[in-house]
Chains A and B, each alone.
Chain A
Amino acid sequence: MKQEQKHGKTYKFGMAIDLDKCTGCGSCMVACMSENNVPFKVDESNKKDSISWMKVFKLTNGKSFPDTEICYLPRPCMHCSGKDSHNPSPCVSVCPATATDTDPTTGIVSQIYTRCFGCRYCMAACPYHARYFNWWDPKWPEGMEKYLSPDVSPRMRGVVEKCSFCFHRYQEAKDKAYVEDRDEINEEEYQTSCTQACPAGAITFGDLNNPSHAIHQLVKPDPHHYGKPRNPKAFRLLERLETNPKVYYISEKEWVRKSGDNYLEGEWEKVKNHHG
């Protein structure tokens, strides 16, 4: 802790996605691809090798016509906190190369492409399928590499990549704070590309440690229970795995909240009302 204090403020950045607001338009996916130099190839219909840091899943309630309901669920990297520094997120704990790590000042799970040697343990460990392997070198059609952003380095074949909560935007916000002699960055100064792009305003991003931030007020994280949401309409994916994600979902619909985990028969009834 002493070290972190010397570094300045420590944040715990997190995201809350209101599934009732999400329309499944896909802006977040493309905003992410365009921000983070995500490549594309001729056939992207094999979703297992189609790199999409932010991926919107379509859930259905399983009922037949006309009682069918659908709900879209955007899935970035969950930036799991794990239980403590000895039990970090699943990916961090298995990485043999220290290519993925939890950034102590932001809580963001980093991925260093030049460090990664492509063993894909992290992909096997990640229960959210948030990690993608580069089976091929990225290729941009001639001239299209002109739109690549210098903020994120393109990834080579043989390494794993994933959502970084647009960490470079945090770096940029911090740089601005430095030149303005501020110690802290403001809530609106650091927002991820998907948050900014979502035309429905379904995504809220901010510091889970800061009670004045919108995300804190929205999910009411419980500091005594690894940040479990105290808002009964909020939930995290696969809560029982105790990965303690920093991405929260909100829905008024019970079937949607129930689909956030695999419940045994009768189990949901016990937990549904004291989810947080």
Chain B
Amino acid sequence: MSEKEKSTELCKEGEKTEGDSGLGLGVLFFLIAFVVVFLSGWLLFPKLLYSKKEQPFNFNHVLHTNETGSCDTCHFLREDGSYNGIPDLASCMECHEEEPMGDTEDELIFCEEYIAKEKEVPWFIYSKQPDCVFFSHAAHLKGKNSMECKTCHGDIGESEESKPYEENRITGYGRDIWGKSIWGIKKHSWDRMKMDDCAECHKEETGSQGACFQCHK
């Protein structure tokens, strides 16, 4: 090792033959830089890469699914085959016109800021795909190969609190698209929602990873 460093030194420093202390410092610098960059890559980088945004107020999925029984009461396919996504204010009011609200702090925000002002709630959508993607919920929910919501969306339906939305500062995508793991390591089918993940499942289920136009617009 020292020989290697010596040769480096010889190469770099030319005629200068003295200065062992410099070499030792080089190693130290190397180690410091390595550790700093390595650690910041693992710990600081994700924090810098994603900006955390709090949802307008907490939404309790458990409470609602207990009441309604299933996901598709609020997240449903319309008659024309399109998918409604996050329900709008009017849909919420279908039930909440009757149900009293305002007990919790979050309900209070909902009442005062949105219902009273007739303003749509600007939810952040964890699984929002970029504009170039066409995704058909109908194709995945209906027919022979119908899928569970959980396969892609995980256990969000069992959440009692809304986790903060983490937006990638470079791409503008939500963190759930790449996955929580900064390496993109995937333990569950819902851990990542990138094109390769779609293709992987398509390959398994249909025998082909699908043509470009199937999912791109």
| In the complex, A272 has a CB within 8 A of chain B | no
Report whether B207 and A6 are in contact in the complex, using a CB–CB cutoff of 8 Å: yes
CA distance A240 to B53 in the complex (A): 60
A172 with B81, Cβ < 8 A, contacts A103-B211, A178-B138 known: yes
Residue of A nearest to B82 (CB): A175
Report whether A153 and B136 are in contact in the complex, using a CB–CB cutoff of 8 Å: no
B68-82 interface code vs A (CB 8 A; 1 in, 0 out): 000000000111111
| In the complex, B25 has a CB within 8 A of chain A | no
CA distance A113 to B133 in the complex (A): 11
Minimal beta-carbon separation of B147 from chain A (angstroms):
13
A7 contacts across to B, CB distance below 8 A: 206, 208
Report whether A110 and B138 are in contact in the complex, using a CB–CB cutoff of 8 Å: no
| In the complex, A152 has a CB within 8 A of chain B | yes
Residue with the greatest number of chain B CB neighbours at <10 A, chosen from A114, A167, A176, A179:
A179
Minimal beta-carbon separation of B132 from chain A (angstroms):
4
Report whether B211 and A176 are in contact in the complex, using a CB–CB cutoff of 8 Å: no
CA distance A194 to B9 in the complex (A): 73
Partner of A2, one of B78, B132, B207: B207
B138 contacts across to A, CB distance below 8 A: 174-176, 178-179
Residue of A nearest to B136 (CB): A175
Report whether A174 and B139 are in contact in the complex, using a CB–CB cutoff of 8 Å: yes
Report whether A98 and B212 are in contact in the complex, using a CB–CB cutoff of 8 Å: yes
Report whether A179 and B207 are in contact in the complex, using a CB–CB cutoff of 8 Å: no
B46-85 interface code vs A (CB 8 A; 1 in, 0 out): 0000000000000000000000000000000111111000
Report whether A112 and B212 are in contact in the complex, using a CB–CB cutoff of 8 Å: yes
A176 with B81, Cβ < 8 A, contacts A6-B207, A181-B143 known: yes
| In the complex, A50 has a CB within 8 A of chain B | no
Instruction: Give the contacts of A221-252 with B (CB-CB under 8 A).
Output: none
| In the complex, B38 has a CB within 8 A of chain A | no
Residue of B nearest to A173 (CB): B81
Residue of B nearest to A113 (CB): B132
Report whether A181 and B217 are in contact in the complex, using a CB–CB cutoff of 8 Å: no
A101 with B80, Cβ < 8 A, contacts A153-B131, A175-B138 known: no
Partner of A152, one of B81, B142, B208, B217: B217
B214 contacts across to A, CB distance below 8 A: 103
A101 contacts across to B, CB distance below 8 A: 211-213
CA distance A104 to B213 in the complex (A): 10
Report whether B81 and A6 are in contact in the complex, using a CB–CB cutoff of 8 Å: no
Residue of A nearest to B208 (CB): A3
Residue of A nearest to B79 (CB): A179
| In the complex, B134 has a CB within 8 A of chain A | yes
Report whether B81 and A179 are in contact in the complex, using a CB–CB cutoff of 8 Å: yes
| In the complex, A196 has a CB within 8 A of chain B | no
Report whether A179 and B212 are in contact in the complex, using a CB–CB cutoff of 8 Å: no
Report whether A153 and B142 are in contact in the complex, using a CB–CB cutoff of 8 Å: no
| In the complex, A108 has a CB within 8 A of chain B | yes
Partner of A110, one of B142, B208, B212: B212
| In the complex, A259 has a CB within 8 A of chain B | no
| In the complex, A197 has a CB within 8 A of chain B | no
Report whether A178 and B212 are in contact in the complex, using a CB–CB cutoff of 8 Å: no
B212 contacts across to A, CB distance below 8 A: 98-99, 101, 103, 110, 112, 115
CA distance A154 to B217 in the complex (A): 9
| In the complex, B216 has a CB within 8 A of chain A | yes
CA distance A99 to B214 in the complex (A): 13
Report whether B81 and A153 are in contact in the complex, using a CB–CB cutoff of 8 Å: no
A152 contacts across to B, CB distance below 8 A: 217
Report whether A110 and B211 are in contact in the complex, using a CB–CB cutoff of 8 Å: yes
B136 contacts across to A, CB distance below 8 A: 171, 174-175, 178
Residue of A nearest to B207 (CB): A3
CA distance A175 to B214 in the complex (A): 12
CA distance A98 to B213 in the complex (A): 12
A98 contacts across to B, CB distance below 8 A: 212
Minimal beta-carbon separation of A78 from chain B (angstroms):
17
Instruction: Give the contacts of B147-191 with A (CB-CB under 8 A).
Output: none
Report whether B80 and A175 are in contact in the complex, using a CB–CB cutoff of 8 Å: yes
Contacts beyond the supplied A115-B212, A171-B136: 8 A-B pairs with Cβ under 8 Å: A3-B207, A98-B212, A153-B132, A164-B213, A174-B81, A174-B136, A175-B82, A178-B138
Taking Cβ atoms with an 8 Å cutoff, the residues of A that contact B are 2-4, 6-7, 98-99, 101-106, 108, 110, 112-115, 151-154, 164, 167-168, 171-172, 174-179, 181
Q: Which 7 A-B pairs have the closest CB atoms?
A: A175-B81, A110-B213, A178-B138, A176-B81, A3-B208, A178-B142, A175-B138
